[in-house]
Amino acid sequence: MKTHCILSNHAEIRCQQRGIAAHTLDLLMDYGEKKHVRDGGISYFFTRKRIREISHYMKKEDVVLMEKQREAYIVVSSTGEVITAAWRKHH
């Protein structure tokens, strides 16, 4: 999986199992909304509002991917490693 993010083995397996694109991870880290979770981690996810706010200065293919994988989210540890990836709703 080619991404700029550092992935745990667990996260890499989950992305493959759940069909979450590597580029989606980068987009989530760069443009996703953030929510603090247990143990100092941060969850990154897309919202319609956020996609609308940033879509005017992004590549069309990135906006299409964000819309397609809008329900994806990742959890990043306090050390910056992606520890898991999943869908907010059944995908």
Residue 48, phi then psi, degrees to nearest 5: -60, -40
Mean pLDDT of all residues in the chain? 91
Per cent of the chain over pLDDT 70 is 97
pLDDT tens-digit profile of 6-16? 999 999 999 99
> What percent of the chain lies above the pLDDT cut of 90?
65
So what's the pLDDT on residue 71?
94
**33 membership: H or E segment, kind and range:** strand 33-36
- For residue 18, is it within any domain? yes
Whether 66 is covered by a domain: the verdict is yes
State the pLDDT at residue 91. 55
- Mean pLDDT calculated for residue range 48-57: 89
pLDDT at 77 over 80: yes
**In terms of residue numbers, what domain contains 20?**
6-87
Quote the number of domains for the chain.
1
Main-chain phi, psi angles of 89, to 5 degrees: -125, 165
Within-domain flag for 29: yes
Check pLDDT > 70 for residue 1: no
